[in-house]
Amino acid sequence: MRLAQEVRRAGAERHGQRASHRQRNQVAKRRERHGGTTASAPAGTLAGSIRRQKRYSSRRAFAILRNDTAGGARMRLAHCARSAAALWIVMGGAGQAQPTQIGVPVPPLGDGPWVFDTAEQHKVRVSVVTKGLSHPWAIAFLPDGGMLITERPGRLRFVRDGVLDPQPISGLPAIRTDGNGGLMDVALHPRFERNALVYLTYTKPVGNGMGAPALMRGRLEGHALVDVEDLLVPDYYEGNSGLNARVVFGRDGKVYMSTGGRSQNDVVNVAQDRMSLRGKILSLDDDGSVPPDNPFVGREGHRPEIYSLGHRNQLGLIVHPTTGEIWQHENGPQGGDEINIIRPGRDYGWPEVSFGRDYSGRRVSEHPTREGIEPPLVVWVPAIAVAGMAVYTGDRFPAWKGNVFVGAMMEGRIPGTGHLQRVVFNRNMEEIRRESMLRELRQRIREVRQGPDELLYLLTDEDDGALLRLEPAP
């Protein structure tokens, strides 16, 4: 009985409130016809309507909640929720309901050139060497002055005298190209002029939706790779994340390969698993065999190929041209991109320590460093999706000598914010400043290399990607 009475009472109250509201509207209309107004905003504007609706809904909600009883609460709160929903729809008409798409509009890359100044090097010209590349990934400079460029969709291309050869190089194996997989890095054997061996990292399809970041090599003969063979096929990856891989030859003649440590569940601890090759730097002889002096050779519970561990998505791997050290960088999730100097047998922390947050917003770890973990040399918060790396050693840009250049594909997970970054170190290899460059182009910079001509070359990771060259302006 009491619930029924409360329902009838609530209905009567709502009827009375609607009648009262109609009366106020009629009064407002009469005032408008006589030149008056009932609100501070013009009566015919959307803003005025929203303000009146907000005041009315607020008064009604307060009255319902203030006079509520246990029996009538369900009906009255339900009506209040409907009123709030109606108000939200009205507010949506003012542009507040639909979320704005995140990102910065990216205009097509022009033909250039562009001239800009930097903090320490003025009159730098950016020229387009060639366009027409589809998501280019890496560059290798050939002894004859040409270049090899990989495209993630599975093509290896020649560029000679600034002209992109329309015919891709043949002989590549089947490549998985979805997600962040595809054809990735390229490196020439140190004795390439004698053996013509080219090393490539790629995503090998292994069935059942799985892929593996594999290392292959082949001999370049004319427009073809021949005698192609896989040297290493690490663990299979579920999904299409963490498939990135880089390759570089050390001064010791060994092959160093990076593998991604991210999985479908971003904090699964594969990068710390000593029996997994995921999230590692691997060290191999040039034929794919394991060097006997690798740090974990003969140790139970460890794969002998492992050189270092605790890495996430590694998109930069170089030999420092002055020190001969292996330098690497990796992407954090939301923040925590980092540059590391790689030491044999060391743990670099992922996912047990990180300066970043995972994609839910929570911290990956309470403390970004701890004893027994190698600290990063450089950290980015927010993340810039760091990719590609070069240490400048030439004389064409004297003020940049010894600086590290990295590509940024987007900053703070905002599309359209790609650029180039320069990091300056002191004599103790301590960072002292950074500079962002080429922001106006808004391109995803995937690769950064110093060429034999002592100029810097960049690849833009776009559908219509380009090879760019930085040079002194005349």
Per-residue CA distances from 260 to 108, 244, 313, 318, 444 (Å): 31, 6, 4, 16, 20
Asked if 125 and 473 count as a contact pair (C-beta separation under 8 A), the reply is yes
Q: Peptide bond before 113: cis, by omega within 30 degrees of 0?
A: yes
Q: For residue 100, what pLDDT band results from cuts at 50, 70 and 90? A: low
Nearest alpha carbon to residue 288 among 222, 232, 363: 232
CB 232 within 8 A of CB 305: yes
Q: Which residues contact 459 (CB under 8 A, 6 or more apart)?
A: 133, 136, 137, 138, 139, 149, 388, 445, 446, 447, 465, 466, 467, 468
**pLDDT band of 235, cuts 50, 70, 90:** confident
**pLDDT above 90 covers what percent of the chain?**
68
User: Which one, of 416, 419, 402, lies nearest residue 126 by Cα?
Assistant: 419
Per-residue pLDDT for 9 more than 50? no
Mean pLDDT score, 242-249:
92
Structure tokens, 447: 């690769």
Phi, psi of 213 (to 5 degrees): -75, 100
CA distances from 446 to 22, 124, 407 (A): 63, 20, 6
Stretch 279-292: mean pLDDT: 98
Question: What domains can you pick out in the chain, each with its CATH number?
Answer: 2-92 (no CATH), 114-472 (2.120.10.30)
Of residues 435 and 8, the one with the higher pLDDT is: 435
Per residue in 296-323, pLDDT (tens digit) is 999 999 999 999 999 999 999 999 999 9
C-alpha R_g of the chain: 30
Q: How far apart are CA 167 and CA 156, in angstroms?
A: 9
User: From CA 5, how far away is CA 96, in angstroms rounded?
Assistant: 39
Residue 33 phi, psi dihedral angles, 5° rounding: -65, -25
Higher pLDDT, 9 or 232: 232
Beta bridge partners of 460: 445
Q: What is the pLDDT of residue 62?
A: 32
Q: What is the mean pLDDT of the chain?
A: 83
354 touches 365 (CB < 8 A) = yes
Give the pLDDT confidence score for residue 263 in this predicted structure: 59
Amino acid at residue number 208: N
pLDDT in tens, 145-183: 999 999 999 999 999 999 999 999 999 999 999 888 999
pLDDT cut 70: percent of the chain above it: 77
What pLDDT is stored for residue 16 in this prediction?
47
Give the residue-averaged pLDDT of 261-266: 62
- How far is the C-alpha of 203 from the C-alpha of 259, rounded, in Å? 11
pLDDT > 70? residue 85: no
Q: What is the pLDDT of residue 239?
A: 67
Pick the more confident residue, 246 or 268.
246
Cα–Cα distances in angstroms (integers) from residue 236 to residues 154, 165, 213, 241, in the given order: 19, 34, 8, 11
State pLDDT tens for residues 30-51.
444 444 443 333 333 323 333 3
- Residue 4's Cα: distance from chain center in Å? 59
